[in-house]
Amino acid sequence: MMSISGIDRIVGHATLDVDIDGGALNARFKVLNDPRFIEAIVIGKKYHEIPSIVSRICGPCSVSHTITAIMAVEKALGISVPEPVKILRKIAVLGEVAENHLLHLTLVVMPEYFGYDDLLEVAKYKPESLRKILLIRSQLSKVMEMISGRLVHPSALSIGGFTRMPGEARLEDAKSILKEIKSRISEIVELFLETEFPEFEVLMEACASLKDGYLYIGDEIITSDEREVRAEDYKRIFIEDVQPYTTSKSVTLEGMPVYVGPRAKVNLKADLLSDQAKSYLKMRSFPLRSPFDNLRAQAIELIHCIDAMQMLIEDVASISSIGSEQRESRIMAREGAGVGVSEAPRGLLIHHYEFNRWGNVIYANVITPTTINSRHVEVAALELIRHYFYEDMPVKEIERYLRKLVQAFDPCLGCATHSVKINIRGLKP
């Protein structure tokens, strides 16, 4: 067993074990975060407590968790919301996706692929580039705060609407900021589209995403074999399992490893991207077959998110009445069940809740993108070994590629960035 540490730019703790003893190949992607029992914690809680509790599943993705939980609760309680609320929620999720993609591509991936030991070296040799990245991130954060109230654990998002709706002045400010971002972001996108990543394909792929446009909230799940499944029927296709070597659930598409996230969406819905995002996609071969192409897909989506946010702000501003603030006292508890689905920064996110007649949770289930991608990480690791090991690539290079492979999936394993350890058995140093 060879143990290597050093992947310090993912969210949480994990180990990738690769075993090739005796010519047999096996890979295990082990999530090591302590179980947090969120689904058990919400049992017995009132419906209105759920969004703020589950937003704590993940700081970087707290907007997505909040909105997805809110949609599930609203379905269960029979609550409908006006069109401006739906549009503003889409803007909030798009902003979170853009902010996460930006941080992953620049502050996480950039040092690894451009020859820098860490961000301190980036600051030393490319100060203007880093300054531009931090400025864009700050501007995106302002837009998200205008819509959601807070960047992390959003305070304005509420069951039935918003605790405070953004007014016309805020929307105008957000539109101006997004215009500035658009003028600065192309350089970053082009940088990653032109970067050379390890080239190999993962055979027998499957992918899943949402049906509704190239936005990030919907009610139907689509797959690469052209199935369309209602959100409420997600258990028909997704099989949840528990493996003894990891603290995370493993989710497959009817037993088949499946990937979700930017690459899945680009492959399934490229024709629905914004015009500029489509033009960038033409710079690459299509479909995107390598897991490393997830980085290119993130760059393409970064442009699409900014374009879509600008369009949606125009849409919501054109509606004469944005609607009033939601008062939870108007909501009546009842027995029911609801499933919310969205596209979080790392892919398909599912929240499922059932309530008794007093509005207390009696069942809860959450499927996060990384639980779906985890089996695909293992399959991709084996394909990478097959592709490079049998070409007599040096062991250190294989180890380096495996570290980069884990990063390319952008796994979200907990609420803090720690390290991944890669263990390889059967290779001589």
Q: In this predicted model, what pLDDT tens digit does every residue of 227-252 receive, in sequence order?
A: 999 999 999 999 988 777 777 788 99
* % of the chain exceeding 70 in pLDDT: 86
Structure tokens at 389: 């090991």
CA dist 64 and 47 (Å) reads 18
Number of domains in the chain: 1
DSSP reduced 3-state for 33: coil
Q: What is the mean pLDDT of residues 328-344?
A: 87
CA dist 58 and 33 (Å) reads 12
Mean pLDDT of the chain: 84
pLDDT of 296 higher than 70: yes
pLDDT the model gives residue 212: 82
Residue 310 has φ and ψ, to the nearest 5°, of -60, -45
Residue with more model confidence, 99 or 111: 99
357-370 pLDDT, tens digit each: 999 999 999 999 98
pLDDT of 414 higher than 60: no
pLDDT the model gives residue 360: 96
DSSP states along 69-131:
HHHHHHHHHT----HHHHHHHHHHHHHHHHHHHHHIIIIIIHHHHTT-SSHHHHHHH-HHHHH
Instruction: Return the CATH number at 187.
Output: 1.10.645.10
pLDDT the model gives residue 415: 32
Q: Are 301 and 277 in contact (CB under 8 A)?
A: yes
Q: What is the mean pLDDT of residues 344-366?
A: 95
pLDDT the model gives residue 195: 82
109-159 pLDDT, tens digit each: 888 787 787 778 888 888 888 898 999 999 999 999 999 998 888 999 999
- What is the pLDDT confidence band of residue 419, given thresholds at 50, 70 and 90? very low
**Where in the sequence is the domain holding 24, given as residue range(s)?**
2-425
161-182 pLDDT, tens digit each: 999 888 888 999 999 999 999 9
pLDDT of 12 higher than 70: no
pLDDT the model gives residue 33: 59
Q: Within 13 A of 118's CA, how many CA atoms are on the CB side?
A: 5
pLDDT the model gives residue 10: 56
What does pTM read for this prediction? 0.90
